[in-house]
Chains A and B, each alone.
Chain A
Amino acid sequence: MTNSTFILLIVGLPFLSFLLLILSSGSKLTQKVAGQIATLLMAVTFFFAAKLSLNYFASHLTQQTAELLVNYTWLEFGSGLAINMGVLLDSSSSMMLLVVTFISLMVHIFSLGYMHHEERIANYFAFLGLFTFSMLGLILSSNIFQIYIFWELVGVSSFLLIGFYYHKSSAVAAAKKAFIVTRFADLGFLIGILILGYYGESFDFTTLISRLGDVNSPQYKQITMAGFAGIQALSWGLILVFIGGAGKSAMFPLHIWLPDAMEGPTPVSALIHAATMVVAGVFLVARLFPIFTVATAAPLQIITYIGAFSALFAALIACTQTDIKRVLAYSTMSQIGFMMFSLGVIGDNGAGYNASLFHLFTHAFFKSLLFLGAGSIIHYVHSNEMEDMGGLRKKMPLTHISFLIACLAISGIPPFAGFFSKEAILHAAYTSNKMVFFVGIITSFLTAFYMFRLYFTIFWSIPEYPKTNEHGEGTWSMKLPLMVLTLASILVGFIPFSKYVNSNGIPVEGHLEIVFSIGPVLLSIAGILLAAYWFKTANTKPQRLAISMGNAFVWVRNKFYIDQLYLYITKEIVFKYFGKTAAYIDKNLIDGFYLSLAHFTGYFSFFIRGIQSGNVQHYALYFFGGILGLVSLLFYLLSY
């Protein structure tokens, strides 16, 4: 089979699963076998994706060139500007192909057990298929317009999945919030696309990068000459594209949708957080990375500082949350912040880029493991609140072990996956930007602290009124993904990642600075010990500390009141002033104009309807009058 057949199958099968299940979701039989069908199709997809991406890596050992597998002109604007539909396979998309299909498969398998009581299970698996399809389309897109189409599809499918429990008003609100916030950010993305496409005279990634990534090309000169409000057009384009990425990747201040997105089923959170939606922004910036590096420093600086700030900000909030999924949500935001600032600090020889994608890779495994573990716990306890959990170590041994390993991985303890990527990021930051490096290690300390706070409260400390359950840990279909992902979280760190995935296609030998990593690892261990001291047994130390911190704690616990700020701005300012004015204009001026037009027509016709008397002779009279008028007009015109 050729590569394009592979691609067709990889992208087509999840879509087939979506179509099949959504069209037949009414029948009882489909409801019964929906999960099995979707999982089977996903397994086949994963098989082909793995084959394709391993083929790619095997055949591109020394030089990772981008391959344009499919190319088809979709919309032609003339003068050489056209929107193509194609498939671009390079090292980063091959890597993502592997991650997305693998995580999606794990989530499918987990959902078999987790969701099997659901009524609308066929719809659920259909939406999972659509989500996977859109994400695969996004990573394989050969041009920036195509990526935008799939980008929106990802938005739609996440909307469908977050709002899956549509009978809960909070889920509906969360789905709307996620959609509107990311859609708002996508406005920036679209304008950015148009700026880059207009000056680059192309939408293709490869052409765009070769033109705008080269300081001597005429297009580059043109885009740097143009500007608006004192900022170069190139910087504008890149910053606007980044705003789109920040919306999807939940960077401050567009992060508000992410914690609320927890209203969806837990496996969906695993998919959104680990492999699909939130890493789309990182992937986008990585795709356009060569342009970022030649542009003025401003866009990359913005990415760096927003990334670093989001990382710290989210880590602080995560320390105070009590809903297990919200803690994980903020930890995702924090880790994505890591990836973002790692892209921003270029590092030596593209080290930041490599480290960022490496972290994306490892994060996918341990974060999906954490979410699936959380799903398993929620399935057992029937609650999201950490207060209802405790002492689960004995009752859920497998979940306990996998959760512990995932926590160690995310905290950056060797030899688990997160250690390698996080050290690479910190090292890249250390060599380029000391301030960001310090933010990074503080965040990494906080990460260890809040993850183990979660771990100890769930599995060790025993609450006053523990909830007991008779049923076991879960079905085999819930245990299997946990085991596989645990194994992955241990092993994937040892992959010499920068040899395969790097910014310019030339393999870089990854190296580990042992001396450098001692500090961050010790800090992480300190975070773990601190968490153990406070949370290993049920006691009042945390409460006393929280009270002694006073208002600061309340601020952090309420997420710095960012949500309230947004609500205030939208309700009190936007709705009250702009919305009401617009509504007034719409109702009275615009509607009024058309209504008065209609009224005028009505009155006028009422007035003149007497002409239609029904008497034939009157009509004949008008007719003669008309002829007389025409003839006199003719005479008048001819007399000149």
Chain B
Amino acid sequence: MTPVGLPHILFLSSCLFFIGMYGFFTRRNLITILMSLELMLNSVNINFVAFNKYLYPQNLSGIFFTIFIITIAAAEAAVAIAIIINLFRSSNSIDVIDAKEMKH
């Protein structure tokens, strides 16, 4: 059994990213879309940690970035949830199809 290497981890993160992307484009529920977004962000986090560990083990820059992204993702989730709540209040739905004010 081969040890876990960088390609394995990159494969995992790519899978996660595209699963997130698929969810982002196909789901209609805004909460699910938000979750897909988080999935994409986490795949990037994994990338950062993996590159840090395998390429520059003496540095910690990748870890730092990950922590930053987690923080920002938390803030972003808060803002997104606030937007979704307001949307629900105005149109009584959290379906992305119903939020069409930005039309031509």
| Shortest Cβ distance from residue A623 to the other chain B in the assembled complex, whole angstroms | 11
B6 sits at the interface (CB 8 A): no
Interface string of B9-22 (1 = CB under 8 A from A): 00000000000010
Assembly CA distance A154 to B101 (angstroms):
63
Assembly CA distance A617 to B103 (angstroms):
13
Partner of B24, one of A614, A615, A620: A620
B1 sits at the interface (CB 8 A): no
| Shortest Cβ distance from residue A602 to the other chain B in the assembled complex, whole angstroms | 14
Assembly CA distance A621 to B101 (angstroms):
18
A639 sits at the interface (CB 8 A): no
| Contact status B21-A624, CB under 8 Å | yes
| Shortest Cβ distance from residue B101 to the other chain A in the assembled complex, whole angstroms | 7
| Contact status A614-B96, CB under 8 Å | no
Q: List residues of chain B with CB within 8 A of the CB of A621.
A: 25
Within 8 A of A (CB), among B13-43: 21, 24-25, 33
Within 8 A of B (CB), among A547-588: none
| Contact status B104-A614, CB under 8 Å | yes
Of all chain A residues, the one with the shortest Cβ separation from B26 is A617
Assembly CA distance A616 to B100 (angstroms):
8
Of all chain B residues, the one with the shortest Cβ separation from A611 is B104
| Contact status A614-B102, CB under 8 Å | yes
| Contact status B104-A609, CB under 8 Å | yes
B85 sits at the interface (CB 8 A): no
| Shortest Cβ distance from residue A615 to the other chain B in the assembled complex, whole angstroms | 7
Interface string of B60-104 (1 = CB under 8 A from A): 000000000000000000000000000000000000110111111
A2 sits at the interface (CB 8 A): no
Q: List residues of chain A with CB within 8 A of the CB of B101.
A: 614
| Contact status A614-B103, CB under 8 Å | yes
| Contact status B21-A615, CB under 8 Å | no
A5 sits at the interface (CB 8 A): no
| Shortest Cβ distance from residue B28 to the other chain A in the assembled complex, whole angstroms | 9
Assembly CA distance A612 to B103 (angstroms):
6
Assembly CA distance A402 to B64 (angstroms):
108
| Shortest Cβ distance from residue A401 to the other chain B in the assembled complex, whole angstroms | 88
| Contact status A615-B97, CB under 8 Å | yes
Interface string of A587-626 (1 = CB under 8 A from B): 0000000000000000000000110111111011100100
Assembly CA distance A77 to B97 (angstroms):
65
| Contact status A612-B96, CB under 8 Å | no
Within 8 A of B (CB), among A204-238: none
| Contact status B103-A613, CB under 8 Å | yes
Of all chain B residues, the one with the shortest Cβ separation from A618 is B25
Q: List residues of chain B with CB within 8 A of the CB of A613.
A: 100, 103-104
Interface-centre pick from A610, A614, A619 (highest chain B CB count, 10 A) = A614
The size bracket of the interface on B is: 10 to 19
Q: List residues of chain B with CB within 8 A of the CB of A620.
A: 24-25
Q: List residues of chain A with CB within 8 A of the CB of B103.
A: 612-614
| Shortest Cβ distance from residue B73 to the other chain A in the assembled complex, whole angstroms | 17
| Shortest Cβ distance from residue B33 to the other chain A in the assembled complex, whole angstroms | 8
Interface string of A620-635 (1 = CB under 8 A from B): 1100100000000000
| Contact status A612-B100, CB under 8 Å | no
- With A620-B24, A620-B25 in contact, is A615–B96 under 8 Å at CB? yes
Q: List residues of chain A with CB within 8 A of the CB of B33.
A: 617
Of all chain A residues, the one with the shortest Cβ separation from B37 is A620
Interface-centre pick from A609, A616, A619 (highest chain B CB count, 10 A) = A616
Q: List residues of chain B with CB within 8 A of the CB of A616.
A: 96, 99, 102
Assembly CA distance A620 to B104 (angstroms):
16
Interface-centre pick from B33, B100, B101, B104 (highest chain A CB count, 10 A) = B104
| Shortest Cβ distance from residue B79 to the other chain A in the assembled complex, whole angstroms | 15
| Contact status A612-B25, CB under 8 Å | no
| Shortest Cβ distance from residue B55 to the other chain A in the assembled complex, whole angstroms | 20
Assembly CA distance A621 to B25 (angstroms):
7
Within 8 A of B (CB), among A138-169: none
Partner of B100, one of A609, A610, A615, A624: A615
Assembly CA distance A77 to B56 (angstroms):
64
Of all chain A residues, the one with the shortest Cβ separation from B102 is A614
Assembly CA distance A117 to B63 (angstroms):
97
Assembly CA distance A513 to B18 (angstroms):
115
| Shortest Cβ distance from residue A39 to the other chain B in the assembled complex, whole angstroms | 70
Q: List residues of chain A with CB within 8 A of the CB of B21.
A: 624
Assembly CA distance A338 to B71 (angstroms):
97
| Shortest Cβ distance from residue A339 to the other chain B in the assembled complex, whole angstroms | 74
Of all chain B residues, the one with the shortest Cβ separation from A612 is B104
Assembly CA distance A613 to B101 (angstroms):
10
| Contact status A617-B96, CB under 8 Å | yes
| Contact status A617-B100, CB under 8 Å | no
Q: List residues of chain B with CB within 8 A of the CB of A617.
A: 24-25, 33, 96
Assembly CA distance A616 to B104 (angstroms):
13
Assembly CA distance A612 to B102 (angstroms):
8
Assembly CA distance A612 to B100 (angstroms):
10
Assembly CA distance A619 to B103 (angstroms):
11
Q: List residues of chain A with CB within 8 A of the CB of B25.
A: 617, 620-621
Within 8 A of B (CB), among A2-43: none
Assembly CA distance A609 to B97 (angstroms):
18
Assembly CA distance A256 to B61 (angstroms):
90
Q: List residues of chain A with CB within 8 A of the CB of B96.
A: 615-617
| Shortest Cβ distance from residue A486 to the other chain B in the assembled complex, whole angstroms | 84
Q: List residues of chain B with CB within 8 A of the CB of A610.
A: 104
| Shortest Cβ distance from residue B83 to the other chain A in the assembled complex, whole angstroms | 11
| Shortest Cβ distance from residue A609 to the other chain B in the assembled complex, whole angstroms | 5
Interface residues of A, Cβ cutoff 8 Å to B: 609-610, 612-617, 619-621, 624
Nearest 5 A-B pairs (CB), nearest first? Answer: A614-B103, A614-B100, A612-B104, A609-B104, A614-B102
8 A-B residue pairs with CB within 8 Å = A612-B103, A613-B104, A615-B100, A616-B102, A617-B25, A619-B102, A620-B24, A620-B25
Interface residues of B, Cβ cutoff 8 Å to A: 21, 24-25, 33, 96-97, 99-104
Contacts A612-B102, A614-B104 supplied; 10 other A-B pairs, CB < 8 Å = A609-B104, A612-B103, A614-B101, A614-B103, A615-B96, A616-B96, A617-B24, A617-B25, A617-B33, A620-B25
